[in-house]
Amino acid sequence: MKEQKIIHEGLITESLPNGMFRVRLDNKDLIIGYISGKIRRNLIRILPGDRVKIEISRYDSTKGRIIYRLQKKDSKD
């Protein structure tokens, strides 16, 4: 049986070395996120300020895999 993952949304707050990021989840938790293979393969750029979907293991809630970068809303300033 495959391990169940929990998917959250969050905001990238800081870029770290080796494709890792500090992510603030919507429930205010801070975790370390790393880029999934599909995002790396498709050369999708992730920068601080981007909203992402992140997949977290039940067993280690301090790390997660970034699986999707959400589209930015058009701001009318």
Tokens of 26: 């919507």
pLDDT-based confidence at residue 2 (cuts at 50, 70, 90) = confident
Tens of pLDDT, residue by residue over 12-61, are 999 999 989 999 999 999 999 999 999 999 999 999 999 999 999 888 99
Task: Give the number of C-alpha atoms closer than 13 A to the C-alpha of residue 2, restricted to the C-beta side.
Answer: 3
Q: Which domains does the chain have, with CATH numbers?
A: 6-69 (2.40.50.140)
Would you state the pLDDT for residue 72?
77
Would you state the pLDDT for residue 74?
59
Residue 64 CB: number of other CB atoms within 10 A? 26
- What does R_g of the chain's alpha carbons equal in angstroms? 13
